Structure 1
Amino acid sequence: MFPVAFAVMENESEESWEWFLRLLHEAIGMPEGLVISSDMQKGLQNAIENVYPLAEHRECMRHLFSNFKKKFRGDLFKFGLWGAARTYSQSHFDDLIAEIDANCPAAMEFLNKEHTKLWSRSKFGTISKCDYLTNNIAEVFNSWISEERHKPIIDLIDAIRQRIMVRFNERRRIVRNWKGSIVPKVLDYIKLISRGLNTYSVHRSSEVLAEVTKNGLRWEVNLEERRCSCRAWQVKGVPCVHAASLIASIRNARWEDYVDSYFTVTRLKTTYSNGIAPMPSKDKWMKYELGYKMLPPILKRPVGRPRKSSRIKAWDEPTKRSHKCTRCGLYGHYRNTCKNAVPSQDNEDSSSGSNRKRNANIGATQPKKKACPSTIFKILEKENI
């Protein structure tokens, strides 16, 4: 994660977001292939359309599914929707969406109406070389500064600046010791996909063109254009398993020739080459006379108790606490949806009747114990005292 800009605003309104984005536009302009990923807040969505109308606007899949499952539940939606989000292939995306539409047209109507931004990798552009589906990286940053979030504004900004300064220096120190031309994470990925390349068959058309097949499926690979018909190579910037099958068949092939420059050690060193200058404490800062007194902003506290954590869990992430059914006594579901077998009423009545008889017999056969005279004397002695 490389922080570009941050700000403190009174609330997450359209005016605040547009103010922040306009300052960001003055700082970085409109880079080619700019991608903005959001959680589809109404204020933020309108601000992005006003300031960055040409940017590729993506939607966080976790927020989308969290909103979607409030109306539509079931394995068809859970696996079908996430499968459509993860696939790079347009044809595979169409098949999954068609299955959802055939079983529940209302679900597709809801998606087309409420979630109009990009949320599937099959729709992502090929310039940014980023295939993130969620905003987890932003949540990691929020967790990273969680200890400073309750400080006054000046102390908060200064603490964030110091953390970023230290982090940049750590990155420079780590990158300085790296060997090779490709970042280690990409090398690990290439080693991982290279383990199963023997299951793919390569049929060459030329030195740079080939068909790669497996289990009756076929993909077209073009090494010169760094393109595969699965689209994973174009979106990620790193060879997919189909392209890796062709590259591995070439003698003395260099993987760095097929990896995008974003993932080279040289580009990473350039990214962190400019450090953040250190600063003295506040008592040594220069003082200016503004001619007026700066008052704190008027804050409006939202309704309800503040949440300790705003992180939205993944669809397959288990919960820490599970509800107990009052019908069968098992965990993980409610009484109105319980389908487990329970003892019949007759069995319960007979069992309860037998318990009453058993208790009656026990009371009849076991006489009450009489108190020992010494015990009675001790009790009377305590009462006299």
Structure 2
Amino acid sequence: MVETHLCERNYNFGHLISCNWLAKHNIKDIIRMPNMTLSQMMEYVLTKYYVKVSKGQCHRERARAREMIEGKLEEHYAKLCDYANEILRSNPGSTCKVGVSVNPDRMNYFQRFHLLVDDLGVEGGRGLVVISNQHKGLLESVKVILPHVEHRQCTRHIYANFRKKHIGLELKNLLWAAATRNFFTQGYACEAVENGIYESFNSMIINIRKKPLLTMLKEIRIYVMARFYYLADKASTCTTESCPAIIDKMKDFGKEMRNWKVIVTRGSVFETRYWYAAYKVISGIPCVHGQAAINYTHTNPTDFLSIWFQKYKFVTAYTTNISPVNGSNMWAPADYIKSLPPLTRRMPSRPKTKRRRHVSKVNDSKFPTVRARVCRTVRCSKYLQFGHNLKSCKNEQLMRDYVPPKKNRKAKEGWK
């Protein structure tokens, strides 16, 4: 035995550790820190076990740990019908439909989750406003399913298409200034010209939708359930008869009413601007001109608000709740064929996790003067067609396109 060691300690024994062993011993830490990066995981293993591991080992460890925590992908799709039955049991009156596509091998593969418009009781869309962004083919479907709905287009996405050919800050300001509400239906108390609710919900589920199917559905359900309780509790503690945000907006209008002179004809009849009348019937909120007239009569401006901004309407919207659901070990088996996950196709290059920014948002970053890089169009090296490469070519029966040969460059004088 050598009592005094002068040699350096060697940490390069990561090849002796398997990913299964790492996942089993670090599963609690991965549950506690699900967003741990591979570099952080490498440092954590080195600090805890004094062993250097590679990024590949950490990647397999994390995948194995998530599989142990959430289960395999096949198990999620196999329990999909069981989960639908549990939803129907715990929340009577709900509708759950699972669509599958039958393939030539007679196996059922999961396709999509359906939510029926009939469950909303909209009756063709009367009295509703739908704002679409990039509807991606849903425009014609909305015309058929909701023929009487008022269908608006999101101004921000209109500008996104406008910006592809017309770039510039001045044109951007002119487009937003030209956004009009002249054709909005009166009485809906909705003045929105962009779909902010959709964008805020998408930003909330941006991390949830990366998870396996049942885990994703469970976390969205828990979020909506907690959101309903929070808003119902907030409404119960509200001391005003109207929504506080609307009252704050009316106060902003009230600060400017000192600049307007009220012209009285008789009694409670006033001459007002057409802008006030149009804004009032579209938004349901008295503007600065209307509040000046209301203040002249010494009445409460909140009495002229639309009923959709009253407290009792807000409370009524959140009187319903989502009942809790049992764990997966208590679900009753459904009498349906178990679904399989959709067929996956390996995409070229490494998968991207960063959000693909729209063309209208590219120059809103910290480099506003830098033009976005335009990717080149791929071309098949076999049939010389644009839009696909040799690996994804499906035109085996097509004839080869004729490509004229390149002309040889003339040699310079003095060169042989």
Shift of 1:41: 3.2
Q: Counterpart in 1 of 2:212?
A: 152
Q: Counterpart in 2 of 1:43?
A: 137
After superposition, residues 1-385 of structure 1 pair within 5 angstroms as 23-30=116-123, 31-85=125-179, 120-212=180-272, 219-220=273-274, 228-229=276-277, 231-251=278-298, 253-290=299-336, 292-298=337-343, 306=352, 308-309=354-355, 312=358, 319-322=364-367, 332=369
Higher relative contact order (CA 8 A, sep 6+): 2
Equivalent pair of 2:132/2:154 in contact (CA under 8 Å): yes
Say which one has the larger Rg.
1
**Structure 1 residues 140 and 244: CA distance shift in structure 2, 3 A:** same
Equivalent pair of 1:239/1:258 in contact (CA under 8 Å): yes
Structure 1, unmatched stretches of 5+, are 11-15, 86-119, 213-218, 222-227, 324-331, 335-385
- Distance, in Å, in 2 between the alignment partners of 1:211 and 1:20 is 52
Structure 2, unmatched stretches of 5+, are 1-93, 101-110, 372-416
- Distance, in Å, in 1 between the alignment partners of 2:294 and 2:363 is 40
**Structure 1 residues 26 and 170: CA distance shift in structure 2, 3 A:** closer
Give TM-score scaled by structure 2 length: 0.57
Shift of 1:146: 1.9
Shift of 1:35: 1.2
Shift of 1:310: 5.3
Equivalent pair of 1:197/1:241 in contact (CA under 8 Å): yes
Q: Counterpart in 1 of 2:407?
A: none
- Distance, in Å, in 1 between the alignment partners of 2:320 and 2:119 is 20
Shift of 1:83: 0.8
- Distance, in Å, in 1 between the alignment partners of 2:95 and 2:243 is 25
Equivalent pair of 1:233/1:239 in contact (CA under 8 Å): yes
Shift of 1:244: 0.8
Q: Counterpart in 2 of 1:359?
A: none
- Distance, in Å, in 2 between the alignment partners of 1:8 and 1:126 is 38
Shift of 1:137: 1.5
RMSD, aligned α-carbons: 3.2
Q: Counterpart in 2 of 1:346?
A: none
Equivalent pair of 2:164/2:359 in contact (CA under 8 Å): no
- Distance, in Å, in 1 between the alignment partners of 2:355 and 2:194 is 17
